[in-house]
Amino acid sequence: MKILFDIKHPAQLNLFKALSNELRAENWDVTICYLQRGKLANIIKSEYAGFNTIPVGSSHGTRWSILWDGNIKRTLAFLDLMRKDKYNICVAASSIPLALASKISGIPVIQFYDDPERNRINHINAGLSTQLFFPPIVEKNHKISVFNCLKEWSYLSPNRFRPDEKTLRRYALEPHEYVFAREVSNKSFNYYNQQDGIISLFAGNISSDTKVVLSLEDKSNAHRYPAHWTLLQEPVEDIHSLIYYSRLVISSGDSMAREGAMLGVASVYCGTRKMKANELLMQLGILEHLPGAYALPFINTIITKKFDKEKQTATRNKLLDQWDDMTAFMKEQINHYKL
């Protein structure tokens, strides 16, 4: 059986990592396609070493590049790839180019996504895909089904993730004595309408006594953050252990804010997008959405409190009891197309 995964964003590569390894162990022929965007190629080479990895299309941050290189040329490249290799099924997390090429080539394609707010994109994807899956934040129909968790749970569940305290040593960090900050670039499609460098606008008002490690998507903006912050260089080995052992997660991107919450760490999303996936965690009381500097009082309050390890464990165990095993769910869906 031959399967193709399409990865176009760093948040997606972890979604399919355990699944692709399990399928390969079961003698599936696994191909990993990826969008040449930022540091993604280097991360793919590190995280998917040993797999057949193929760059398909690119994106340089401009609207024209997203349309031409990231969609039109990608679709043509996928069509060429599918003519050469007969895949049994294709899998993605919202990829119109892959879905269109699969539709034309007569190959089943299933997608796992968590952003129902992208109405136009989801409508196109639903029409082109064999099946589109969301968390329980949408209405089901003949093309749209649900999984009972968020997609990040595929690699953050206690059944899948074991934090390693040794990761902290290279940064001279102590468990729960630092803040993890993530600043996304507004050059990607998801954040085009978001102000650039949101965290940088209030970073100087975070207590200078606080250790902060910064995951900065656009390194050219490093000068905008306090000099005593530690700038991470991607690909970061075991980044989720860094998040797990942090005291607080601050993120202008939605994915890493959710990751922090699912790892049982106090987390605040300071971006501007309103998302139902975030609201699911907010209703559970494990994620805050405070745009821009509105996040500052919450941040400065949390960093003065002692970290509650028992609460972290209880939060993760509660999710484990209530949610699906995302990797097992995806494998079950894929096996429906096994000949």
Q: Digits of tens for pLDDT over the chain (339 positions)?
A: 999 999 988 878 899 999 999 999 999 999 999 998 878 888 898 889 999 999 998 877 677 777 777 789 899 999 999 999 889 999 999 999 999 999 999 999 999 999 888 889 899 999 999 999 999 999 889 999 999 999 999 999 999 999 999 999 999 999 999 999 999 986 655 554 557 799 999 999 998 899 999 999 889 999 999 999 999 988 788 999 999 999 999 999 999 999 999 999 999 999 998 999 999 999 999 999 999 999 999 999 999 999 999 999 999 999 999 999 999 999 999 998 876
The answer to whether residues 235 and 202 belong to one domain is yes
The answer to whether residues 129 and 207 belong to one domain is no
Longest distance between any two alpha carbons in the chain, whole Å? 60
The answer to whether residues 76 and 116 belong to one domain is yes
The answer to whether residues 288 and 181 belong to one domain is yes
The answer to whether residues 142 and 225 belong to one domain is no
The answer to whether residues 97 and 171 belong to one domain is no
Which tokens is 1 given?
């059986």
pLDDT at 60: 73
Collect all residues with Cβ–Cβ distance below 8 Å to 335 and sequence separation of at least 6: none
| CA pair distance 202, 188, nearest whole angstrom | 22
The answer to whether residues 152 and 22 belong to one domain is yes
Domain total in the chain: 2
CA neighbor of 4 nearest in space, from 337, 332, 255? 337
Find where tokens 């280097």 sit: 42
The answer to whether residues 13 and 147 belong to one domain is yes
pLDDT at 191: 53
The domain of 144 spans 2-157+325-335
pLDDT at 234: 80
The answer to whether residues 184 and 316 belong to one domain is yes
Distances (CA, A) of 192 to 63, 136, 195, 304, 332: 9, 27, 8, 34, 35
The answer to whether residues 229 and 289 belong to one domain is yes
pTM: 0.89
Task: State which H helix or E strand residue 269 sits in.
Answer: strand 266-269
Cβ contact 242:223 at 8 Å: no
Distances (CA, A) of 298 to 79, 224, 226, 238, 279: 49, 22, 19, 27, 18
What CATH number has the domain bearing residue 207?
3.40.50.2000
pLDDT at 69: 76
The answer to whether residues 178 and 90 belong to one domain is no
The answer to whether residues 116 and 169 belong to one domain is no
pLDDT at 54: 96
Which parts of 129-235 fold into alpha helices (H)?
153-156
CA neighbor of 255 nearest in space, from 156, 338, 133? 156
Half-sphere exposure of 248 (CA within 13 A, CB side): 21
